[in-house]
Amino acid sequence: MAYNVLVADSVIEFLDTLSKSERDRIMKRLHLLEERPHSAGEPRGKFWILKVGRTDYRLAFRIVEEEHAVRVTAIEKRKSHRYKEFYQ
């Protein structure tokens, strides 16, 4: 049974600012969360982190087993100051 992937509005807005190639790369990674979120990402602090290929982008998400859903809450470059919040 596939997980329902829910993406925060702020993530969608950010994706709209990226080039088509970057956006496509991220979308491919998001599709992995539908079938196997536990093996696609790594647990880090209060979030799971999904690396996006050779880019510096990281997606923060939570797995909500009761809803059989994955909630993608943020996307950040690995070296950004906000990325460090993922580990708290």
The tens digit of pLDDT for each residue in 77-86 reads 777 666 666 6
Domain ranges of the chain: 4-87
The DSSP string of 32-68 is HHHH-HHHHSEEETTEEEEE-TTSSEEEEEEEEGGGT
Q: How confident is the model at residue 88 (pLDDT cuts 50, 70, 90)?
A: low
- Contact (Cβ atoms closer than 8 angstroms) between residue 43 and residue 13: no
Give the Cα separation of 2 and 68 in Å (integer): 8
pLDDT beyond 60 at 8: yes
Paired residues of 75 in beta bridges: 59
Mean of all residue pLDDT scores within the chain: 87
Other CB atoms within 10 A of residue 26 CB: 21
Q: Check if CATH label 3.30.2310.20 holds for domain 4-87.
A: yes
The tens digit of pLDDT for each residue in 40-71 reads 999 988 889 998 877 788 899 999 999 999 99
